[in-house]
Amino acid sequence: MASVSVLGLGAMGSRMAVNLTKAGHAVTVWSRDPDKAGRLSASGATRASSPRAAATGADVVIAMVRDDIASRAVWLEASTGALAGMSRDAIAIESSTLSVNWVRTLGMAAANSGIAFLDAPVAGSRPQAEAGQLIYFVGGDASVLARALPVLNAMGSAVHHAGAPGSGAGVKLLVNAMFGIQLAALGELIGLAKNMGLDTANVIDILESTPVCSPAAKLAASAMLAGNFAPLFPIELVVKDFGYVVEGARAVGARIPTSTAAHRIFAEAVSSGLGDDHITGVAKLFAEVRFEAAGGDSVSSLTEGS
């Protein structure tokens, strides 16, 4: 069993840390909010006062924080960053969903310090994190991944080696874009079905039975119909991730009109006060039934209960 430190105890990191303790690893935790670290003590984890204190003596250090800014702070901050506290034979694992550019920069910083590095973001939300069924997309050296596998297996049910450092981050952003584009389209089309006066529940039943509907879209369609928007993957994180997709595409001059449109739609959802909703909440943007007057000037609307 390994000595594993977890930095960041939000919705995902807290559940991952619990599974590491259940698997028998010696777990040390750090969180910006000390109360969150305190709650993990009940599961057998040891609290550390800073990322550096958590990293000192650990075999594996895992970060699961919000964004690039948080990642930079926990790994590289001058007096408290984890990287400078790590042993030369330890492994640094960045599991947050981050921009490819930042992850490559972080990987180089680790290499310059002689520390083995993996980017290992995950697919799956709170239920999968709790059940130890996350899907890992890993960038980095295959031999380092082989050493880290017993630790990743305590939190996930599948591990995909994506390639060089930064590849895990890249695959994760593509997977999230695929998911977000589908759900934006689904919300829009359910709204269209309502506007066309179709029986929405029946439309969804039929849609779900066809090969064009992915398993993820099936689950989301049922949640949208049931009005289930309890936050698992909140829209404000979806916008953060699409921001990294757009930024990454701009850096390499790639055309991504569909992802750009989805980014705008989820940003509009945040502006409409839906940032804390689960990603399915995007459907609320299209929930109104509109009857356009013949002249096109006046639009009257009513909200249909679903």
Ligand X SMILES: NC(=O)c1ccc[n+]([C@@H]2O[C@H](COP(=O)([O-])OP(=O)(O)OC[C@H]3O[C@@H](n4cnc5c(N)ncnc54)[C@H](OP(=O)(O)O)[C@@H]3O)[C@@H](O)[C@H]2O)c1
- Contacting residues toward ligand X, per CB under 6 A: 8-13, 31-33, 36, 64-66, 69-70, 73-74, 96-97, 122, 125, 232-233, 237
- Taking the complex as a whole, the smallest distance from the CB of residue 232 to ligand X amounts, in Å, to 5
User: Toward ligand X, which CB reaches closer, 31 or 280?
Assistant: 31
Provide the minimum distance between the beta carbon of 41 and ligand X in the complex, in angstroms, as a whole number.
16
Give whichever of 125 and 200 is closer to ligand X, judged by the CB atom: 125
Tell me whether residue 232 or residue 282 sits nearer to ligand X (CB atom).
232
Judge residue 142's burial from the number of C-beta atoms within 10 Å of its C-beta, 0-12 exposed, 13-18 middle, 19 or more buried: exposed
Q: Rounded to the nearest whole angstrom, what is the least distance from the CB of residue 201 to ligand X in the complex?
A: 27
Paired residues of 29 in beta bridges: 6, 47
How many residues are present in the chain?
306
d(CA 37, CA 197): 51
- Closer residue to ligand X, CB minimum distance, 45 or 74: 74
Residues contacting 88, CB < 8 A, separation 6+: 114, 115
Closest CA to 87 of 55, 118, 44: 55
C-beta closer to ligand X: residue 36 or 194: 36
Smallest distance from ligand X to CB 88, Å: 25
Picking from 69, 73, 27, the residue whose alpha carbon sits closest to that of residue 52 is: 73
What is the nearest approach in angstroms of ligand X to the Cβ of residue 301? 32
Q: Please report the DSSP string for 225-283 in residue order.
A: HHT----SSBHHHHHHHHHHHHHHHHHHT---HHHHHHHHHHHHHHHTT-TTSBGGGGG
Contact 223, 280 (CB under 8 A): yes
Are 32 and 88 within 8 A, CB to CB? no
Distance of CA 280 to the CA centre of its chain: 15
Q: Which residue in the shown chain puts its C-beta closest to ligand X? A: 10
Looking at beta carbons only, is 194 or 240 nearer to ligand X? 240
Closer of 207 and 270 to ligand X (Cβ)? 270
Find residue 302's DSSP bridge partners. 289
Output the smallest distance, CB 27 to ligand X, in A: 15
Q: Least distance to ligand X from the beta carbon of 10, Å?
A: 2
